[in-house]
Chain A
Amino acid sequence: MSVIVLLLIPLAATALVCLPLKRAWPMGVTVAANLALLILTARLAWWVADGNAAVSAPQVWLLKWIAVDGLSALILLLIALVATTAAIFSIGYLGHENLPPFKLRLYYANYNLFIFSMLAVPVLAEPTLVWIVVELTTLCSALLVSFDNTREALEASWKYVLLSLMGAGLALFGFLVLFAAMQASGVQTAYTWNGLVAAAPKMPPILLQTSFVFILIGLGTKVGLVPMHTWLPDAHSQAPSPVCALLSGVETTAVLYVILRLFPVMHASPGAHAEIWALVLGLISVGTAAFLLLQVRDYKRMFAYSTVEHMGVILTAVGLGAAVAGYGAMQQILAHSVTKSFCFFAAGSVLLMAGTREIAAVRELVRRSPVAGAALVFGGLAITGAPPLAIFLSEFTILKAGLTQGQYLATGLLAAFIVIAFFGVMLHVNRMVFGSPTEGRMNGSSDKWMNGSQPASSDGATTPSIHQSKSPPIQPARLPFSCGLALVLAAIPVLVLGLYMPEPLHELLTQAAAVLK
C-alpha cells in the first residue's frame, strides 16, 4: 500500500503547488513532500532489505503490476534523497533571480511531476509500462531543461527531447519483440520482469538477443552511453543546477536500472550474450568521456561528461559478471548519485558566485566565495574517486572484482581511464579555485565580478598585469543559506559512505546485486 502512497505524494504536491498562494508556498510544499518521500522510501528500503518483497495488495487493473524488490528499493531511495536536497537547493538558487510567481509555480509543478515520473520507473514491473514512464521522464524534464529560455537552453532541450525520443522508439520495438519472445516461449506467466526470467530458457535466442540490443541502444541513448551521448553535455549543463543534479544523479541511473533488469533474463537463456555488449559499450563510454573531459570549456559540461563516465563504469561492472562486481555496481550507483548531486550543487553555487559557466573566465574562486571554492574542490575529488570518499570504495570494489575474475585487459583499461578523468577534472577545478587571475582571462565580463562593484574596464584582455595592479581586492560574496544547507546535507553521505557502509545499506545493496543474477 505504501508504494501507491509513494506515487501519489508528488502528484498531490504538483496540484498543491499550482495554487496561487504566498511566494514561499510552492517551495515549502515541494520540500515537505520530498521529505515525506524520503522517509517513506527509507522505510520501504529497510523493509525490503530485511528480505520481504513489497507487492501492493489489491491485484486489480494497474496495481497488479506494482512490485518492489531490492534493486527497485535502492533506486527509489536515491531518487527521494536527491529530490530532497535538490528541492532545498532550488530555494536559494531560484530565489536569487526575481522570477514572476507564475514561472516559479511552473518550475515547482514541473519538478514534482518529474519526480513522480522517475519514481514510477522502478515501481512498475511490466516492461511496456516502464517504457511509457521512461518516456514520461523525458517529457516532464524537457521544459525544466529549457527553463532559462536562452538560445542555448532551448537548443539543449530540443536536442535532449529529440535524441531521447529517438532512442525510446528503438526501445519500443525492443520491448515488443521481447513480448513476442515471451509468447513464443509458450510459458504462461504474466509479462513482468520475474515472468520474463521464468520464461527465458524457452525463448528463441534470436528474439531475445535482438530485443536486448535494441533496448540497450535505445535506452542507452537516454543513459548517455557513447556514441549516443551527444545530447547529455548540452542538456545537463544548460538546465538549472538543481535540475542538473536530478538528471545526472538519478534520472540516468533510473534508465540504467531498466537496462539492468534485462540481465537476469539474458543469463537465464542459454544462447544469449549480454556481458560482452555491456563490457564493450561501458569501456567505450568511460574512455571517450575521460578524453573529452580534458578539453571542456564549461565546468557544468565537465560534470556532465563525468556522468557519462560513471554510467560506463557501472555498465562495465555489470559486464564483468561476478557477484562481487555486481555488488560493486550497486555501490557505484549509490555513490555516484549522492556524489554527482553534490557536484552539481557545487557547480550551481559557483555559477551563482561567478556568473559564468566558462572555466577560463573563473579564477581565484577561493577569494570570492570560500564556500563555493571548497565545495568545488571537494566535489571534484569526490567524483573522480579520491579516497576516503564514496566513489573510491565502489570503484575499488569493481577493480578488485575484475582482477580476481581474470579480466586484466578490461580492468586495466578501466583503471587507466579513471585516472585520466581524475587528471582532467582536477586540472580544471584547480585552475578555477586556486588559479591566479592573470592567466587567461577572456573579456571584460569576468572583470565585473572580480572587481566587485567597479565598472569593467575597456581593455581587459590586452593589459592584464597593469590592470591587475590597479584593481582593488576581490570582494567575497555570500551564498544563499539554503544552497549552503543543501551542500552540507549532500556532502554527508559522500563522506560517510567513503568510510563506513551502514548495515541496512549493505543488506540493501546485497539484495539489489542478487536481483542481477
Chain B
Amino acid sequence: MNQLVENLNALMGGLFLLAAFGMVAMRQARGCLNLFITQSVLLAASAALLGVRYHSEHLYGVAIVNLISKPLIVPWLLRKTSLEEIYTRREVDQVLNIPTALLIALGLTILAYFLGRPLSNAVGSEFRGPNVSIGIAGLLLGAFTLTVRREAVPLLLGVLAMENGAFFAGIAISRNLPMLVELAIATDGLIIVFIMGVLTRAVQKHIGTTAVGELAALKEEAAEPASEEVLAK
C-alpha cells in the first residue's frame, strides 16, 4: 500500500513537471490557464497522498486550501478583474522558439534535480520522494516562463506557478507550518491575481495591448524627451 502511495505521489510529481513544461511552451493564454489549474490540482493531490503516507491531517488541510483557492477562485477573480478578451490572445512570435525553450527548460530541470538531492537527504530519513527536486524545478521553470513569455496572463500564471513549485517542495520538507500561515499564503496568491488583473486592465485601456513583455520605453538611451503627458500635469 505504501509503495502504491509513493508511486502515485511520484506520478503526480511527474505530471506536475509536465504541466510546468507546458506553461513554458503553450501559446494560448487560455491553455496556459488550464495548465495552471491542472498543476494546482496535482499539488493538492500530492499533498493529500503525502497526508495518507504520514498520517497527517495538516496536509489534508493544505490540499483542501489549495484545491479551493487555485483551481476555483483564481480563474474567477481573473475573469472579474481583467477583460474577457485577453484570454483569446495567443503569442504568434515568441522570444525564443518553442523547441529551444523546451530544451533550456529541460536543462533547468536537471539542475533542479542536482540542487534538490542534497537538500532532500539533509532533512531527515523519512520518505520524501521526488517532491523537493520537482518543486525546485517548478520554481525555476516558473521563473523561466517569466522571461520567455510576453502576454500578460501567462506572465501572471508564471508567478503563481513559481509559488506552486515552492509549495510542492514545501509539503515534503516543511510539513508542520501553522495552518494560519498556509491560509495567509493562499490569500496572498489571490491578492496577487487581483492586483495584476487590475494592472492588466489598466494596461489594456491605456496602451491598447497586453503584450507587456514588449513594453521597453524606459531605457537610458531614450531618444525623445519626456512626453507631453508629463507637461500636462
Task: Decide yes or no: A355 and B119 within 8 Å by CB, A129-B181, A169-B143, A176-B174 being known contacts.
Answer: no
CB-based contact B159/A355 at 8 Å: no
B-chain residues with CB within 8 Å of residue A483 when the two chains form the complex: none
- Residue among B166, B181, B206, B225 making CB contact with A150, cutoff 8 Å: B206
Contacting residues, chain A, for B192 (C-beta < 8 A): 135, 139, 165
A296–B219 Cα distance when bound, in Å, is 9
In the assembled complex, B231 has its CB within 8 A of some CB on chain A:
yes
- Does A158 lie within 8 Å of B198, measured CB to CB? no
Bound CA–CA A238/B217 (angstroms): 12
CB of A132 to closest CB in B, whole Å: 5
Total A-B residue contacts, Cβ distance less than 8 Å: 166
Q: Is B220 an interface residue (CB 8 A)?
A: yes
Within the complex, the shortest CB–CB distance from B126 to chain A, in Å, comes to: 11
What is the minimal beta-carbon distance from B197 to any residue of chain A, in angstroms?
A: 11
CA distance A161 to B180 in the complex (A): 25
Expressed in whole angstroms, the Cα–Cα distance for A414 and B207 within the complex equals 42
CB-based contact B162/A169 at 8 Å: yes
Task: Flag the segment in A82-90, A425-433, A442-450 that touches B.
Answer: A442-450
Interface segment among B29-37, B67-75, B134-142: the answer is B134-142
Interface bits B217-233 vs A (CB < 8 Å: 1, else 0)? 11010100111111101
Contact check, A96 vs B195: say whether CB atoms are below 8 A apart.
Answer: no
Q: Taking the complex as formed, is A297 at the interface, i.e. its CB lies under 8 A from any CB of chain B?
A: yes
- The majority secondary structure among interface residues of chain A is helix
* Interface contact B188-A173, CB-CB below 8 Å: no
CB of B19 within 8 A of chain A?
A: no
Residues facing B in A118-141 (CB within 8 A) are 126, 128-129, 132, 135-136, 139
Q: Are B185 and A132 in contact (CB under 8 A)?
A: yes
Tell me, rounded to whole Å, the shortest Cβ–Cβ distance linking A238 to chain B.
7
Contact indicator B225/A176 (Cβ below 8 Å): no
* Closest-CB distance, A136 to chain B (whole angstroms): 7
Closest to A128 in B: B181
A residues near B110, Cβ cutoff 8 Å: none
Interfacial residues of chain B within 123-140, with CB under 8 A of chain A in the complex: 123-124, 135-136, 139
A239 to B177, CA, bound (A): 37
A514 at the interface (CB under 8 A from B): no
Which of A61, A210, A237 interacts with B119 by CB under 8 Å? A210
As a 0/1 sequence over residues 165 to 182 of chain B, the CB contacts with chain A under 8 angstroms (1 = contact) are: 111011001101100110
Smallest CB–CB gap between A417 and chain B, Å? 19
Complex CA gap A179/B233 in Å reads 49
* Size of interface on B: residues with Cβ below 8 Å to A: 56
B147 to chain A, nearest CB (A): 9
Chain B residues closer than 8 Å to A154, beta-carbon distance: 199, 202-203, 206-207, 215
B83 within 8 A of A: no
Q: Does B184 contact A (CB under 8 A)?
A: yes
Q: Tell me whether A183 and B181 are in contact (CB under 8 A).
A: no
| Of A250-258, A330-338, A356-364, A503-511, the one touching chain B | A356-364
| A184 and B122 contact, Cβ closer than 8 Å, known pairs A154-B199, A161-B196, A355-B230 | yes
**A240's closest neighbor in chain B, by CB?**
B233
Q: State A179–B182 Cα separation when bound (angstroms).
A: 13
Which residues A143-198 have CB closer than 8 A to chain B?
Answer: 143, 146, 148-152, 154-158, 161-162, 165-166, 169-170, 172-173, 176-177, 179-180, 183-184
B225–A442 touching, CB < 8 Å: yes
Tell whether, in the assembled complex, residue A446 and residue B225 are in contact, meaning their CB atoms are under 8 Å apart. yes
Contacts A184-B124, A296-B220; A358 near B226 (Cβ below 8 A): yes
Interface flag for A295 (CB, 8 Å): yes
B225 pairs with A162, CB closer than 8 A: no
**Whole-angstrom CA separation of A180 from B118 in the bound complex:** 13
B residues near A (Cβ < 8 Å) are 115, 118-119, 122-124, 135-136, 139, 142-143, 146, 152, 155, 159, 162-163, 165-167, 169-170, 173-174, 176-177, 180-181, 184-185, 188, 191-192, 195-196, 198-199, 202-203, 206-207, 212, 215-218, 220, 222, 225-231, 233
Closest 5 CB pairs of A and B: A169-B162, A176-B170, A180-B173, A155-B215, A179-B174
20 sampled A-B residue pairs with Cβ under 8 A? A139-B191, A143-B195, A146-B199, A148-B229, A152-B217, A158-B199, A161-B199, A166-B159, A169-B165, A173-B135, A173-B139, A176-B169, A207-B123, A237-B218, A297-B220, A297-B222, A301-B220, A357-B226, A360-B225, A361-B225
Which residues of A does B touch, CB under 8 Å? 61-62, 96-97, 126, 128-129, 132, 135-136, 139, 142-143, 146, 148-152, 154-158, 161-162, 165-166, 169-170, 172-173, 176-177, 179-180, 183-184, 204, 206-207, 210, 233-234, 237-238, 292, 295-298, 301, 351, 355-358, 360-361, 442-443, 445-446, 448
